[in-house]
Amino acid sequence: MIRAMLYRVSLLQALAVMIVISLLLPLPLLMLTYANSTYKHKQEEFTTLNTKKFNLSSAIFVESLWNFYPELGQKMLDQLLLDPKLQFVHVDDSDGKLFLGWENKNKSGNDDNILLLRKKLEKDNIVVGSLEMGFIREDLIASIMADMSLFGYILFLQIFFLVVLISWIYYYKIIKPIRRLVEHSTLLAHQKLDEPFRWDENDEIGTLGFALDKTRIQLKSLFDSLKHENEILDEKVKQRTKELEDASRYKSEFLANMSHEIRTPMNAIMGMSHLMRKTAMNSTQLSYVNKIKEASSVLLRIINDVLDFSKIEAGKMEVESVAFDLHKELKKSCSIFSVLAKEKGIGFQCDFVESNRFFKGDPCKIMQIVNNFLSNAIKFTKEGAVILSVDEKVNDDTTSTLTFHVKDSGLGIPKEKQSLLFKAFGQLDASVTRKHGGTGLGLYICTQLASMMHGHITLESEEGRGSLFSFIISLPLAKGLDLQHENNAANAYDPLRILLIIDQKKESDMLCDFIRSFGFFVTVQKSSDDVASQIKTIDKPHQLIILDYELSKGMNGVSFYEQLLQQVALVDMPPVLMLATNDDAEIKNRIYGAGIKSCLKKPINPSMLYDELVALSAGSSQTSLFDPSKIDLSQKRILVVEDNDINLEVATYLLKETHAKVEIARNGLEAVEIIQEQAHPFDLILMDVQMPLMDGYEATRIIRKELNILTPIVAMTANVMVQDIEKCIQSGMDAHIGKPFDIEDFYGTLLEVLHVSLSIAPKQQVNTQKHVKLHFNKKEAIKKLGGNEALWQKLFCSFYETYLLLPAKLHEFIKKEELATLLDYVHTVKGLSGTIGVSLLEETLCLFEKSLKEDKSIQDSLLEAVLNEHHSLLTTLRDAYNRIDPAMYQTLHAQSSEYSLEGSLKELKDALEISNVSKINLLVEQLSSVEILREHEVFKTLLLACKSFDFEAALEHLARLSEEIAYG
């Protein structure tokens, strides 16, 4: 307690208390000295004085008694009463009777403090009476208080003065300097060392302040040194971090390159194995081929696991959130794994129908986890069954927690080894690896994926009794409308319009809720309504009909449908889904016999209803391709500036479909010359960007600024990034068309720039969703060409023949260090690849082109990716090329290439006449790709003359070649 009080007081308060205590400590000694000397002396004086009073007064009282004169005695008594110390007076006569007397009624103190004096009163030796008087003595405390009042005031003033004086000196000499020391120490603690600590005092605290300032100087020097060292360390850390990032990047690139290197021969091995199985083989050979295919599949799965592992380690694995159909995804997996389970002779069960159907999340990664569970379960189960089930716990109106269970009756896992499964490359023991294969990455990747989606995986297993793997994840609920918009993001979404014919109100409301939750429109009619008029007169026809079998008034759905067919033509009747309480064979035969396509048994499950509706509507809403025949540009003159034959052919074909007058220039310089020669300007210029001699940007600048021509210019380029489009607009062009051409985009841009009115669908926005690109997508390429398969075949044959030696061309340009030529070549092949539908090659070339532009160097990894993709496509493209009818191709080729061959020969003649070497080399290279010239003897002689720079001889050979071609 005392210590706590001391902690609470300041130094100044403690000093004042110490002064007071030091002055009060001698008081007990002073009191003892006073009691033994002064007080004792005072008591003796008191006794002597009062004894004298007693003796003097006794004489008076004797006379009063002798003379019996009480008045005299009374006067003496009155005089004695003036003494406050007097307590009582008793004067008795000789008979002992009271003669005079007085006693203090307020007598204080006890008898020990009374000075008692007695005496017999005599006169001439005759006793006349007695006298008794008492005086109160002053006690020690009262004596001290009486004697020390003045001394006390003086002592208080002395203490006060000393406290004030000493405190003032103490404050300025001790407390204030200590506070300065504290401030300077705080500055040291906060590393504020630039301002010096100034101390003028010469006492001990001043010395401490000087020492503190020296400490500041040394610390400042130390911190400056540390700061310099830290900067050096930071640089080293940054350098080391960069090295680690580079190492991680090199590892990722190595894994990616290795995967491509392995995938390419693996695709060949698997493809050849598949083809070999179709040939005649004995049982031994068939066994060998099956083993090759199985081993290839295992190796491919290992590669995929390693790539996923690399992505997760590099932090490049992304999780998307899209609306998806859970039941549809689960059904895909069940259809695959049920076959695998059947092949192994074990059962396979699944139960997920009772859960909600539509959610938002990453369906690919969710199903990757579930598929891994199913694959492991089937792999490690010899007998019994594998069961997939989904439990749903609805949290609120917006989210649900899903638990995917995969239970098997396989080997089981000891508890002490279960944790090993979820570690990278973790296996239970070597024997499992040898017997069942695998990398030990599957469950580790699943764990990481679950964590990235804020879910988790649990395991319950007992050795010899099977295992239960569970994946728990919370997902937002989606609606059918969200899914429809997700799947139709590229097109304007038009929901299914369904006509529901049912008489029961309760069932009708329930079905309407189901259908609207799918994102579809529904119209309800009763059997008593005029349904036929509804079907025939509605503006937007119904795409499906749902018909109840149990109608009112004893009518059944089949009879109602047959009556409806009498009023509505069969071609106008949408597909019908019948709902029936009983689905026995007789009723089904009636339903299907009437021509109704599908039947669903009551009670209706929403999931099954959705599947039936989607199945019935599949293919019913195909979007018609763009029809260019409605566009008339016969009064328009259009200049096409393009150096690539195939792209030129596509653009020219599309323009001729509109009857436009088309002229051609093969580079920017030629385009400028043609425009200068024109008496009347073109209505439109379609300008390629990357061309020899003069590119599209420079040509546009000359047309706009030097020639002052305002003809609309539209860029045609495979560079479709935002910055590329902005660059085209900034250079003076009016619009942009991307390669490969999208038909609607091509014609829509032309109409917009030429200000031609036509009732067509507006240009659709680019779909931002990620689509899976195929190596070779013929259907999509034909669609982009307006559905013209003949044109696609011609373009494809030209592409295949011209760019069959793509690797040789790339290596040739690289060896010659012709970076600009290489860039032009890659750009051209990229655009052509998209045109014929080789999407992945186009994408790979795009990355390679971007690298060439930005880094001004060749990245081996990107080059390898291009070569790998080219190699993987050769077989596919060769098969597609061989399937094309040669006769039809030759007809197409002859019809469409006549104008381009003639134009190219004319250009070569002009170039030879003016000795334009670069243009001669370009035209000769282009003409070398034309099949009818490649083996022509005159053309070979022409090539030799051009390479020898003998342009006069070349002109003669060219004239001869033109005559032979003209006359066949």
Give the pLDDT confidence of 66-117 residue by residue, as tens digits. Answer: 888 888 888 888 888 888 888 889 988 888 888 888 888 876 656 777 888 8
In this structure, how many other beta carbons lie within 10 angstroms of the beta carbon of residue 392?
16
Match 């500036």 to its residue by tokens: 641
Burial-class residue 366 by CB neighbours within 10 Å (0-12, 13-18, 19+).
buried
How far apart are the C-alpha atoms of 663 and 682, rounded to whole Å?
A: 9
Cβ atoms of 785 and 743 closer than 8 Å? yes
Q: By 3-state DSSP, what share of the chain in percent is helix, strand and coil, each rounded to 5? A: 60, 15, 25
Comparing 231 with 278, which gets the higher pLDDT?
A: 231
Comparing 397 with 468, which gets the higher pLDDT?
A: 468
**Rounded average pLDDT over 751-778:** 55
**Rounded average pLDDT over 647-669:** 85
Residue 680's pLDDT band (cuts 50, 70, 90): confident
Any residues with CB less than 8 A from the CB of 664 and at least 6 apart, and which?
639, 640, 641, 642, 648, 652, 900, 903
Q: Residue 687 is inside which H or E element, if any?
A: strand 684-688
Give the fold, CATH level 3, of 322-476: Heat Shock Protein 90 (3.30.565)
3-class DSSP state of 68: coil
How far apart are the C-alpha atoms of 562 and 593, rounded to whole Å?
A: 11
Q: What is the DSSP letter of 171?
A: I
Give the fold, CATH level 3, of 778-893: Four Helix Bundle (Hemerythrin (Met), subunit A) (1.20.120)
> Average model confidence (pLDDT) for the chain?
78
Q: What is the DSSP letter of 682?
A: -
In this structure, how many other beta carbons lie within 10 angstroms of the beta carbon of residue 587?
19
pLDDT of the residue at 526: 87
How far apart are the C-alpha atoms of 515 and 546, rounded to whole Å?
A: 11
Match 């005159």 to its residue by tokens: 938
Q: Which two tokens stand for residue 437?
A: 């294969």
pLDDT of the residue at 721: 63
3-class DSSP state of 490: coil
How far apart are the C-alpha atoms of 420 and 651, rounded to whole Å?
A: 61
Q: What percent of the chain has pLDDT over 70?
A: 78
How far apart are the C-alpha atoms of 388 and 466, rounded to whole Å?
A: 14
Give the fold, CATH level 3, of 497-618: Rossmann fold (3.40.50)
In this structure, how many other beta carbons lie within 10 angstroms of the beta carbon of residue 731?
19
Residue 623 has pLDDT above 80, yes or no: no
In this structure, how many other beta carbons lie within 10 angstroms of the beta carbon of residue 698?
15
The closest alpha carbon to 636, from 755, 760, 743, belongs to 755
How far from 220 is each of 38, 189, 191, 324, 478, CA to CA, in Å? 71, 12, 8, 64, 63
Q: What percent of the chain has pLDDT over 90?
A: 8
Comparing 388 with 22, which gets the higher pLDDT?
A: 388
Dihedral sign, CA of 349, 351, 353, 357? negative
Match 């007076």 to its residue by tokens: 89
Cβ atoms of 146 and 138 closer than 8 Å? yes
**Rounded average pLDDT over 202-221:** 81
Where is mean pLDDT largest: 681-685, 836-840, 857-861?
681-685
Q: Residue 670 is inside which H or E element, if any?
A: helix 668-677
pTM of the model: 0.38
How far from 156 is each of 20, 29, 725, CA to CA, in Å? 10, 18, 99
Q: Which two tokens stand for residue 132?
A: 């008794």
Residue 379's pLDDT band (cuts 50, 70, 90): confident
Give CATH for domain 641-754.
3.40.50.2300
How far apart are the C-alpha atoms of 298 and 40, rounded to whole Å?
A: 122
Any residues with CB less than 8 A from the CB of 919 and at least 6 apart, and which?
667, 692, 693, 907, 911
Q: What is the pLDDT of residues 683-726, one digit of tens each?
A: 999 999 888 888 899 999 999 989 889 899 999 886 666 677 88
The closest alpha carbon to 711, from 739, 742, 676, belongs to 676
How far apart are the C-alpha atoms of 751 and 758, rounded to whole Å?
A: 8
Q: What is the length of the chain?
A: 968
The closest alpha carbon to 837, from 805, 800, 886, 864, belongs to 800
Residue 421's pLDDT band (cuts 50, 70, 90): confident
Domain boundaries, the chain: 1-190, 200-317, 322-476, 497-618, 641-754, 778-893, 901-967
Residue type, 328: K
How far apart are the C-alpha atoms of 275 and 277, rounded to whole Å?
A: 5
Residue 622 has pLDDT above 50, yes or no: no
Q: Do domains 497-618 and 641-754 have the same CATH topology?
A: yes
Alpha helix locations (H) across 665-721?
668-677, 696-701
How far apart are the C-alpha atoms of 680 and 637, rounded to whole Å?
A: 10
Q: Which two tokens stand for residue 509?
A: 């409301």
Residue 871 has pLDDT above 50, yes or no: yes
3-class DSSP state of 350: strand
pLDDT of the residue at 879: 72
Residue 839 has pLDDT above 80, yes or no: no
Given phi > 0 = left and psi -120 to 50 = alpha, else beta, which region is 785? Answer: alpha
Residue 900's pLDDT band (cuts 50, 70, 90): low
Residue 34's pLDDT band (cuts 50, 70, 90): confident
Comparing 231 with 950, which gets the higher pLDDT?
A: 231
Comparing 764 with 836, which gets the higher pLDDT?
A: 836
Residue 640 has pLDDT above 90, yes or no: yes
Burial-class residue 848 by CB neighbours within 10 Å (0-12, 13-18, 19+).
buried
pLDDT of the residue at 764: 39
Cβ atoms of 908 and 958 closer than 8 Å? yes
**Rounded average pLDDT over 548-563:** 85
Q: Please say whether the structural domain 200-317 has been given the CATH code 3.50.50.60.
A: no
How far apart are the C-alpha atoms of 467 and 451, rounded to whole Å?
A: 21
Dihedral sign, CA of 251, 252, 258, 262? positive
The closest alpha carbon to 302, from 112, 442, 413, 126, belongs to 442
Cβ atoms of 793 and 889 closer than 8 Å? yes
Q: What is the pLDDT of residues 446-478, one digit of tens each?
A: 888 898 899 999 999 888 888 999 999 999 988
Strands of 86-93's sheet in order across: 98-103, 86-93, 126-136, 114-123
Q: What is the 3-state secondary structure (H, E, C) of 400-423?
A: EEEEEEEEECCCCCCHHHHHHHHC
What is the C-alpha radius of gyration for the chain, rounded to an integer number of angstroms? 57
Residue 838's pLDDT band (cuts 50, 70, 90): confident
Lowest mean per-residue pLDDT among 264-278, 286-300, 410-424: 264-278
pLDDT of the residue at 846: 80
How far from 718 is each of 475, 687, 737, CA to CA, in Å? 40, 12, 8
Instruction: Write phi, then psi, for 693 (nearest 5 degrees).
Output: 65, -55
pLDDT of the residue at 702: 93
Residue 915 has pLDDT above 60, yes or no: yes
Q: What is the pLDDT of residues 873-890, one digit of tens each?
A: 777 777 777 766 554 444
pLDDT of the residue at 885: 54
- CA 529 from chain centre, in angstroms, equals 54
- First vs last C-alpha separation in the chain: 124
